[in-house]
Structure formats: C-alpha cells, structure tokens
C-alpha cells in the first residue's frame, strides 16, 4: 500500500466544499487510509480531523489531493522540496491547467491512484537565488515562474542578463519572466510567450513590454543557468515567485535562476490529454 497517508489541501474560503470533503474523508478512511488536513480543509469540515500546517501535510503525505485552483497547487508545490509525492488537482469550477480533474471524476481518479494504476506528469521547477554583493539573501522555488519587475511611475527596469556566464543583453523592459514549461501557459502567455509542452526539458525567458522591439522569448535548455543583475537605481524593483511571493530587490542585486533538482509530480486526468486542456482553456477551434 504505497499511498497510505493522503493530505488534503483546500483553496481558502471555499467552505462550500464541506459535503464533498466529508464524503472524501469518510471514503478514504473506509479504504484504510490516514487523512492529513490543511487549515482550510479542517476549517471547511468541522470535526473531520485536526488542522495541520500545509508544510506538515506535505511532509507527511504519500499523496496530496488539492481541491481548488492552480493557485493552491502552486503553493503546495513550493513546499515539496525533495519529497516529490504526487499531487492530485481537482478543480472546483472551471478547468485549470494544473487541476484537470473535475469533482465527479475525483473518486474514480482516487481509486486508480490507490490501486497504483495511474499516470503522472513530472514537471520541472525553478530554483531562484538572490545575492546582494557576495551575500546570499534569499532562495525560492517556483513551479510556474520567477518575475523581476518594477513598480512606480517609470516602470522601465534595466536587467543585465547572462546565460551560463555568456552575456545575452541588458533588457530595458517592464520586467523579465523566467518560466518553466508549466508556467508557459500562465503569465508568460499574456506577455506574448510560446506554449511549451509540459514535459519539455526547457526554460523560457521573456521580457515584459521590452523597449527593444526585437527582443523575443528565448527558449533555453533545462540546464541553462540564468543570471540577472538588477541595474536600475531607485526603489520598487521586485522578485515575484509564482505570483505569490514577493521580495524587494536593490540595485546591483543578482538573481540566479536554474532548474531545481526536484520535480513536481502531478496525477494526470485519465480523461483529458494536454491538448484537450489547451483547446478548452484557449478556446481554439473558435475565433
């Protein structure tokens, strides 16, 4: 029984999940499984079990079921570290890129997982490090993207960029996105980026509204080490991780982004392939 302890994480403020949550927890216990609830799950289902931190849920579970949207998956993913246990993403409404399974498909999907008969999609993640002078000042993991951008009346930021030690260019732009294939359908897409097949061993670097009109998205091998030196004076330059974590950057701070040694394992929908998700989300086939 390889999947013995099932973590459950719920999107904040989704109290309407109580019935399904109650049914899910009961069913899992009937199957002889242990259940670990994150604070949102515990709050949405009073009396169902103790509340653990999300970090505890991730640390103890053999599988994490996420009821919510892509954002909840992203926050769970950042806690995974070296664990790489599978995540089963269930959307509570509209299809997500990371939450392919619908509520009616939840139990059949779980049965397959408990029987160890399921397919997964392994997604690479990014490790970002910030250095101030010689001093490391922060380290972050992203499943979607790492964004450096500027706020305030003049949005232009100057970002001197290197790949594997070779100078690429100094972007003058609203910002710069480094994204995984998973992240290519998130913020990147709005910035004009291409769609990377989710298991492609690659990263993508995209300036946001670049001053130089010939700057284009750059797709690099997964082994690329991207180094960005923040050259702008003044306040207001930020590093944002998966759109959820925000860190201020000083002038001359260096951000290094490379593939992290650890991946995220997503349980695949037995019903949908990647292109079906893409067609539905992007409304292809219709103008």
Catalytic residue ranges? 70
Shortest Cβ 38–a second copy spacing (Å): 21
Picking from 79, 68, 227, the residue whose alpha carbon sits closest to that of residue 163 is 227
Shortest Cβ 284–a second copy spacing (Å): 5
Shortest Cβ 146–a second copy spacing (Å): 12
Long-range contacts made by residues 233-237, C-beta under 8 angstroms, separation at least 24? Answer: 234/152, 235/152, 236/150, 236/151, 236/152, 237/148, 237/149, 237/150, 237/157
Shortest Cβ 207–a second copy spacing (Å): 9
Of 7 and 193, which has the nearer Cβ to a second copy? 193
Picking from 125, 6, 137, 86, the residue whose alpha carbon sits closest to that of residue 269 is 86
Of 84 and 246, which has the nearer Cβ to a second copy? 246
Of 2 and 190, which has the nearer Cβ to a second copy? 190
Distance of CA 79 to the CA centre of its chain: 11
Find the Cα–Cα–Cα–Cα dihedral 1, 92, 69, 260, rounded to 10°.
20
Q: Which residues bind a second copy (CB under 8 A)?
A: 149, 151-155, 163, 166-170, 173-174, 184, 187, 189-197, 199-202, 204, 208-221, 224, 236, 238, 240, 243-246, 273-275, 278-279, 281-287
- Give the DSSP H/E element, type plus range, for residue 60: helix 54-60
Of 127 and 278, which has the nearer Cβ to a second copy? 278
């Amino acid at each position: 029984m390889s999947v013995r302890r099932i973590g459950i994480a719920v999107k904040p403020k989704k109290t309407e999940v109580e019935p399904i949550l109650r049914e899910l927890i009961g069913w899992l216990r009937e199957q002889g499984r242990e259940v670990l609830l994150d604070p949102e799950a515990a709050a949405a289902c009073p009396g169902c079990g103790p509340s653990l931190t999300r970090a505890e849920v991730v640390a103890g579970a053999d599988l994490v079921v996420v009821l919510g949207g892509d954002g909840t998956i992203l926050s769970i993913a950042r806690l995974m570290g070296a664990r790489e246990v599978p995540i089963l993403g269930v959307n509570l409404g509209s299809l997500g890129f990371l939450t392919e399974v619908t509520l009616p498909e939840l139990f059949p999907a779980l049965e397959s997982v408990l029987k160890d008969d399921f397919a997964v999609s392994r997604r690479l993640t990014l490790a970002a490090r910030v250095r101030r002078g010689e001093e490391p000042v922060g380290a972050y993991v992203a499943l979607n993207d790492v964004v450096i951008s500027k706020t305030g009346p003049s949005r232009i930021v100057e970002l001197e960029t290197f790949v594997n030690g070779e100078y690429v260019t100094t972007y003058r732009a609203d910002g710069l996105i480094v994204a995984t294939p998973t992240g290519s359908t998130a913020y990147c897409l709005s910035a004009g980026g291409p769609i990377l097949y989710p298991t492609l061993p690659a990263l993508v670097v995209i300036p946001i509204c670049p001053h130089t009109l010939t700057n284009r998205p750059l797709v690099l091998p997964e082994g690329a080490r991207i180094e960005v030196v923040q050259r702008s004076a003044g306040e207001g330059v930020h590093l944002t991780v998966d759109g959820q974590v925000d860190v201020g950057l000083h002038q001359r701070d260096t951000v290094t982004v490379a593939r992290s040694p650890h991946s995220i394992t997503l349980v695949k929908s037995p019903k949908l392939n990647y292109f079906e998700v893409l067609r539905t989300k992007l409304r292809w086939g219709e103008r």
